[in-house]
Amino acid sequence: MEEKAQQLAQASQYKTEFMANMSHELRTPLNSLLLLSRLLAENPDANLTPRQIEFANTIHGAGSDLLRLIDDILDLSKIEAGRAEVDAGPVVLAELLGDLEQALGPQAEEKGLTLAVEISADVPSTITSDMQRLQQVLRNLLANAVKFTDTGGVTLQVGRAGGLLAFAVRDTGIGIPAGKLEMIFEAFQQADGTTSRKYGGTGLGLSISKELARMLGGRIKVTSTVGEGSVFTLLVPEELPTTATAGSRASTSVSLSGSRSGSMAGSLSGPTPLRGPARRVTPAATALAGATVLIVDDDVRNVFALTSALELHGLTVLYADNGAAGIRLLTEHPEVDVVLMDTMMPDLDGNETTRLIRELPGGRELPVVFLTAKAMPGDREASLAAGATEYVTKPVDLDELLALMANWVTPPRRPRRVAR
């Protein structure tokens, strides 16, 4: 039995490493696809027809869907291997709910559905939890509710129940047969898995959400009536201990009453199809105009996409396809303001290259922003320990990247740091 347990643990480790490598290999071309399709959709030269802009939007949307699938598979792999982590901190509920409405509002509107939020008067304004994980679970539940609802609407009710915070997602959708309520939380399982099914998907979202709820110290319960709708309720503590693990559980029943309600609408931002044709120029891009950036990356597709996007926003771009060449360029170009560093490269990887940069004259102050498709626990910490200034997972959001770079480059423009 001990030998079998060891074999299972080893197989799980191999599976996790495989998924991490697959994530990296898929994210890198996706980065190019999303960046370049966005540039096309923005139509900066005003030479595309509305139909062509629509094509670019469709490509961008399809790439975003693929990215979400990759994220789901990687999340499940990390959870199964016990390598998923929670990062407890203050969560402002108004901010959390606002982000969710911005993300799901347009989808509901497109289907002619109402999307409302009801908050009980006794709900605190701030709780202690993992903002990213909490948002991930709620977004999964809301996205499912919108997906399986054709008429009526979706309501997110927030209240208290026995010391726990309850997020109840109610819809007027197709409902789930009683015999399949437990099955839908199993990985790759769906209420309708036939070839004639109406709704697509992989069946991973609820499985991941169930495990994430446990990591947050809570659970998910569901009630449903076929033809009338479903209620998925996430129950979590208001104060998540920093020692919370994937095995921690809390159970109770919930009744929401005495709520104050309001319906808010938002516009989709970020994973979103762009509207073109005008190019968006952000304040960050304006602040960065004239700055010099060095990209160190061995993937020519990623370099081409990043270079095209950055040059359109007025930056000067230098490029090295390996760590040694990157260090040489820094000694030849002291005007470099910021470095965009890939993690996985032959010979000198991003971490080792950054360590060597920090040893150069003036190199300790140079901002080095990691753009990586490697997203397993410990990777970020290893890069920061090597001297990374920031750590961003591919595919990157261009506006967020420009804003991040602007934080380190201006104002005022930093002096030239690295000299021969």
Counting the structural domains of the chain, the total is 3
- Reply yes or no on whether the pLDDT at 270 is more than 50: no
Q: Which residue has the higher pLDDT, 44 or 229?
A: 229
Residue 6 lies in a domain: yes
Q: Based on the fold, state whether residues 93 and 62 are members of the same structural domain.
A: no
- Reply yes or no on whether the pLDDT at 223 is more than 80: yes
- Reply yes or no on whether the pLDDT at 259 is more than 50: no
Over residues 382-393, the pLDDT tens digits come to 999 999 999 988
Residues 312-339, mean pLDDT to the nearest whole number: 94
Q: Based on the fold, state whether residues 218 and 252 are members of the same structural domain.
A: yes
What is the pLDDT confidence band of residue 160, given thresholds at 50, 70 and 90?
A: very high
Q: Which domain holds residue 222?
A: 89-257
What is the pLDDT confidence band of residue 166, given thresholds at 50, 70 and 90?
A: very high
Q: Give the residues across from 219 on adjacent strands.
A: 235
Q: Based on the fold, state whether residues 139 and 55 are members of the same structural domain.
A: no
**Element counts in the chain: helices (H) and strands (E):** 11, 13
What is the pLDDT confidence band of residue 217, given thresholds at 50, 70 and 90?
A: very high
Q: Look-up: residue for tokens 């449903």?
A: 224
pLDDT at 247: 38
What is the pLDDT confidence band of residue 265, given thresholds at 50, 70 and 90?
A: very low
- Reply yes or no on whether the pLDDT at 154 is more than 90: yes
pLDDT at 57: 87
- C-alpha distance from residue 34 to each of 38, 63, 66, 75, 283 (Å): 6, 6, 11, 21, 21
Helices 205-215 + 131-147 axis angle, to 10:
150
Global pTM value: 0.60
What CATH number did the domain enclosing 159 receive?
3.30.565.10
Q: Which of 6-20, 146-160, 299-313 has the lowest mean pLDDT?
A: 6-20
Q: Based on the fold, state whether residues 74 and 24 are members of the same structural domain.
A: yes
Q: Based on the fold, state whether residues 128 and 65 are members of the same structural domain.
A: no
What is the pLDDT confidence band of residue 89, given thresholds at 50, 70 and 90?
A: very high
Residue 145 lies in a domain: yes
Over residues 129-145, the pLDDT tens digits come to 999 899 999 999 999 99
Q: Based on the fold, state whether residues 31 and 62 are members of the same structural domain.
A: yes
Q: Which of 71-75, 95-99, 234-238, 279-283 has the lowest mean pLDDT?
A: 279-283
- Reply yes or no on whether the pLDDT at 272 is more than 50: no
Q: Which residue has the higher pLDDT, 166 or 346?
A: 166
Q: Based on the fold, state whether residues 128 and 67 are members of the same structural domain.
A: no
- Percentage, residues of the chain above pLDDT 90: 42
pLDDT at 72: 78
CA angle 91, 92, 93 (to 5 degrees): 105
| Average pLDDT taken over every residue of the chain | 80
Residue 265 lies in a domain: no
* Residue 253 identity: S
Residue 272 lies in a domain: no
Residue 417 lies in a domain: no
- Reply yes or no on whether the pLDDT at 411 is more than 70: no
Residues 220-245, mean pLDDT to the nearest whole number: 86
d(CA 274, CA 259): 36
Q: How does DSSP classify residue 376?
A: S
Q: Which residue has the higher pLDDT, 185 or 273?
A: 185
Taking the CA atoms of 117, 119, 125 and 126 in sequence, report the sign of the dihedral they define.
Answer: negative
Residues 348-366, mean pLDDT to the nearest whole number: 93
d(CA 316, CA 318): 7
Maximum pairwise Cα distance, the chain: 72
d(CA 393, CA 31): 10
pLDDT at 71: 79
pLDDT at 377: 67
Q: Based on the fold, state whether residues 26 and 146 are members of the same structural domain.
A: no
What CATH number did the domain enclosing 73 receive?
1.10.287.130
d(CA 126, CA 293): 39
Q: Based on the fold, state whether residues 244 and 121 are members of the same structural domain.
A: yes
Q: Which residue has the higher pLDDT, 64 or 96?
A: 96
pLDDT at 82: 72
pLDDT at 261: 32
What is the pLDDT confidence band of residue 186, given thresholds at 50, 70 and 90?
A: confident
